[in-house]
Amino acid sequence: MIVKNTPLPFYAKLAFILIGIMALGFLIILGKELLDPLMFGFLFAILLLPLANFFERRIKLPRSMAAFLSILLMVAFLGGIIYLVGTQISNLANDWPQLKEQVSKSLVDLQVWIQKTFHVNAEKQMLYVNDTTDKIVASGTTVLGTTFGALSSLLLFYLFIIIFTFLILFYRRLLFRFVLYVFDEESTPVVQAVVENIQSILRKYILGLLLEMVIVATISCIAFWIIGVKYAILLGIITGIFNIIPYVGIFSALVLSSLITFATGAISKALVVALVVIAIHAVDSNVILPMVVGSKVRLNALITFIGIILGEMLWGLSGMFLSIPVIAICKIIFDHINGLRPWGYLLGGDYEYKREAQEEMKTE
């Protein structure tokens, strides 16, 4: 008796896919403490791989020393950015009396506006503010403890990232051979192509984002300086750094820049700063981003936005940073597997179909 393998119907396949996605999401949430620094370490290792290869092959350093020196240069670069931002924040702290006076004046104007608009006198407003202040002071010990715990966890998180980056750089050949051994020999060319493509695209994407951050920060600093904003360099750097987060980051930079400008100047200047940030974002989205980042990671806007939201739901702020690289890795893998190519097409969009059609027309 011959038994024929009948294919599963579509609804059965869809049910298995949904169950697999839910199980994967649960495991991702459960393993956040391990996977989060591991993913950042993986991205930094890919970024530093050419530098580590240069130290190892050209300067003839041991693999451990090459990896350590590459990480040291990266930490020095990030430390320089933190130092630059810290000096600007210290200047902001020196002007604290002026800021306090400006904020107090703005609060008085706000009280007058609320009284005229909503007919709530100043005494009731101050009573509500005082009650809220007493509650915050009463829970001050808890807030301080939570803040200290958060800072400790953040430092430990950064330390894990550095350790994972070093270990991935040190054992990179072992990890690559392991990936090859998992699959059969017939799949070796495909696996090598996927690994090389992931390394190339992610490295170009990260470098493109860094270059875009520098360009946006420079343009923002110049624009704020022309306007006459007091902390032009600080606000420009904040705008450039926050711009790395797609869609959400630029609005955070807009709110923060407007509030700091409002605390140090007139409300009209704060509105001008908000308009300048929106204009810079428009130029960045339509000119700088396509030119600098280009087609490094070709994901459509819908998938990108959904990925950012899911990343924030799963891992918070770090998930927002990691969402696009993870989706890009999935797209590269999907594009090299016949059964998953429709999903790769979904992540990319119609421009890939148009590009392939143009290439076919050129060959004909």
DSSP per-residue letters across 113-135: HHHHHH---HHHHHHHHHHHHHH
Local structure of residue 297 (DSSP, 8 states) = S
For the CA atoms of 186, 189, 195, 197, what is the dihedral angle to 10 degrees? -140
Whether the pTM exceeds 0.75: the reply is no
Q: How many Cβ atoms from other residues are within 10 Å of residue 307's Cβ?
A: 23
Percentage helix, strand, coil, to 5, in the chain? Answer: 85, 0, 15
Instruction: Kindly report, residue by residue over 122-147, the tens digit of the pLDDT.
Output: 666 566 655 655 554 454 444 444 43
pLDDT score at 97: 67
Nearest to 46 by CA among 206, 192, 229: 206
- Both tokens of 13, joined, read 């396949």
Nearest to 325 by CA among 158, 203, 190, 192: 203
Which residues, in sequence order, are CB contacts of 48 under 8 Å at separation 6+?
Answer: 67, 70, 71, 74, 165, 169
Instruction: Kindly report, residue by residue over 349-361, the tens digit of the pLDDT.
Output: 665 545 554 544 4
Residues of the chain short of pLDDT 50, as ranges, are 1, 3, 136-137, 139-150, 353, 357, 359-361
- Both tokens of 173, joined, read 């050949």
Q: What letters, b where the CB count within 10 A reaches 16 and e where it falls short, cover 339-361?
A: eeeebbeebbeeebeeeeeeeee
pLDDT score at 132: 56
Nearest to 165 by CA among 49, 45, 64: 45
